[in-house]
Structure 1
Amino acid sequence: MTGVNAGQPSADTAWSFEERPLLLVISGPSGAGKTEAVRELCARRTIRRSVSATTRRPRTGEEDGVDYHFLGGDEFMRRVDAGAFAEWARYRSHCYGTLRSTVERAREQGEDIVLEIDVQGGAQVRARYPEALLVFILPPDMQTLRRRLEFRDTETADARERRLQAATAEIQRGSMYDYAIVNHEDQLTETVDVIEAVIEADRRRLTTRHAISLSGFHAGDGPSDTQEHTR
C-alpha cells in the first residue's frame, strides 16, 4: 500500500470509481443450498447465470443451452486443449466446465455474472480472474447435510456416503474463498440477503480492480500517490 500526501482538497474534488462487472463464484457441497441461493439471487438482481458445459446426457426436461451446453466427450476435450474453458473439472465419469466465451461476453457487455461451480473450478477462476468474488455456501453441520441428501431420495445410500465424503474435502478446500456463508434451515431468504450484502461491500472496497480518478485533488507539494488496498 502506498500513502497519500493529502494536503487540502479543493471544493470541486471528485472521487470517481470505475466499477467493473461482477464475476461471482458460488460453491458449496451438494445439499448446502447453493443452487437455490443462485436462483433466488438471479430473481432479485440483474445478474446472468452462467450455463455450464457437460459431457453427461440430458435429463428429462433439460434443454441444450438453457440448463447445460451438452457436448460429447471428444468435443469437450478438444475445447479443453484449445483453452476454451475458464474452468473445468471431472466429476465421476463426466466433465463439467465454464466456457471462457460465456464469461468474457458478459464482461464485455457490462453484465454481472454468477458461476455455480465446485472448488476445483473456483481455484481455476481465481487464477485466471483474480478480481472474482468467491463465496462458499456451508450447511449448518454435517448432520443437516446428511438429512438434506436423504430427503432428496434420488440416490442410493452408498452414493450419499460418497457425496458426504466429497463434501468434507470440499469444505476444507473452501478456505481459499473470500467469504463463507452458513445456509441455515428454512432461511434461504436470509442467506441471499447476506450474499447481497457481501456483493455491495465488495463493490465499495478500494481494490486493484477499481480505476480510481482523483479529479481536482490538490496534494500540495508532496507526492500524489493513490492508495491501493488488496485483498
Structure 2
Amino acid sequence: MKKMVLVITGAAGSGKTTICKYICAKYHLPKVVTHTTRAPRQGEHDGIDYYFESDASFAQKHFLESVHYSGAQYGSSIEGLEAAWQTAPLACIVLDTKGALAYQRALSDQVLTIYLTVDVGKDSAAALRKRMEARGDDPEKIAKRMQSAENKRDQQIPQELMGHATIIKNNDLPTAHRDVDAFMATVIAKLKS
C-alpha cells in the first residue's frame, strides 16, 4: 500500500490540532510528531504532542520543513514521518501553510491536504483570538502571534495549494466533523482502490 500523509493546515486558532486529534482517533491514524523549541503548554507531553527540543538538539534533526514562528522553532523530521508510517500507511500532521507547501513540493502525490478556515460572522480574526484564549495561550503571545507575518500568511490558502487542498470551514465542530468524515470517506476509498 502506498504511504501517504494527511496535512492539516490553516491559521492559528482554526482548529488544526483539534481536527487532527479527531481524525487520528476516529480513523486510527498515527500522528507525525513534530519538533519545537517552545515550552510545553499545560497538558502537553514530550513525544506525544511534540518533541520538545533545545536549540542544539533541534539543529541535529533531518527536517522536511522547519520554521521560526512566534519566537520558537518548529519542524517535522524525516525520521518522525517514517516512524508514523511504520504504524500505518496513512499518517496525519499539523503544519502551517509554509510547511504544507514544503510537503507538497517534497512528497507530491503522497500528500493529502485539508485547509481549515474560520468564518464566524464578519470578524474571523476575533474568532481565532477567542479560540487561542480559550485554550489557555498567554494574552501577550496571542497579540504577538496575531500580528505576525506568518499568521497573516496562514489566513489564506496559498495559491500553490489550490487544487491540491480540500477547504473545510471549522465554524462549529459538529459541521466540521461531518465535512472531515466526507473527505475521509473519499480518502479511504482511494487507498483501497
Q: TM-score range by the shorter chain?
A: 0.7 to 0.9
Provide the residue aligned with 1:6 in structure 2: none
Counterparts of 1:147-158 in structure 2, within 5 Å, are 147-150=127-130, 152=133, 154-156=137-139
Counterparts of 1:215-230 in structure 2, within 5 Å, are none
Deviations 1:95-118 (A, max 9, x none): 111121121233345432100111
Offset, 1:135 = 1.0
Offset, 1:192 = 2.3
Structure-2 separation of matches of 1:63 and 1:158? 21
Is 1:46–1:112's contact at 8 Å kept on the other side of the alignment? no
Offset, 1:60 = 4.3
The answer to which structure has the higher helix fraction is 2
Provide the residue aligned with 2:6 in structure 1: 24
Provide the residue aligned with 1:163 in structure 2: 146
Give the one of 170, 173, 176 matched to 1:188.
173
Deviations 1:130-157 (A, max 9, x none): 1200110000156144134136163436
TM-score, length basis structure 1: 0.68
Structure-2 separation of matches of 1:164 and 1:43? 33
Structure-1 separation of matches of 2:145 and 2:125? 13
Structure-2 separation of matches of 1:144 and 1:172? 12
Equivalenced residue count is 184
Deviations 1:192-226 (A, max 9, x none): 22223223324545xxxx8x8xxxxxxxxxxxxxx
RMSD: 2.8
State the identity as a percent: 22
Give the one of 70, 76, 80 matched to 1:102.
80
Provide the residue aligned with 2:118 in structure 1: 139
Deviations 1:22-48 (A, max 9, x none): 310001111212221111222211101
Offset, 1:164 = 5.6
Is 1:22–1:111's contact at 8 Å kept on the other side of the alignment? yes
The secondary structure found in structure 1 opposite 2:146 is helix
Counterparts of 1:206-221 in structure 2, within 5 Å, are none
Deviations 1:139-184 (A, max 9, x none): 0156144134136163436843641664432133434152111112
Larger RCO (CA under 8 A, 6+ residues apart) = 1
The secondary structure found in structure 1 opposite 2:119 is coil
Structure-2 separation of matches of 1:134 and 1:27? 7
Runs (5+) with no aligned partner, structure 1: 1-18, 213-231
Is 1:138–1:183's contact at 8 Å kept on the other side of the alignment? yes
Give the one of 61, 74, 79 matched to 2:56.
74
The secondary structure found in structure 1 opposite 2:156 is helix
Q: Taking structure 1 as reference, are residues 53 and 164 closer, same or farther at Cα in structure 2, changes over 3 Å only? A: same
Structure-2 separation of matches of 1:55 and 1:158? 15
TM-score, length basis structure 2: 0.80
Is 2:70–2:145's contact at 8 Å kept on the other side of the alignment? no
Q: Taking structure 1 as reference, are residues 41 and 164 closer, same or farther at Cα in structure 2, changes over 3 Å only? A: farther
Counterpart residue identity of residue 180, structure 1: I
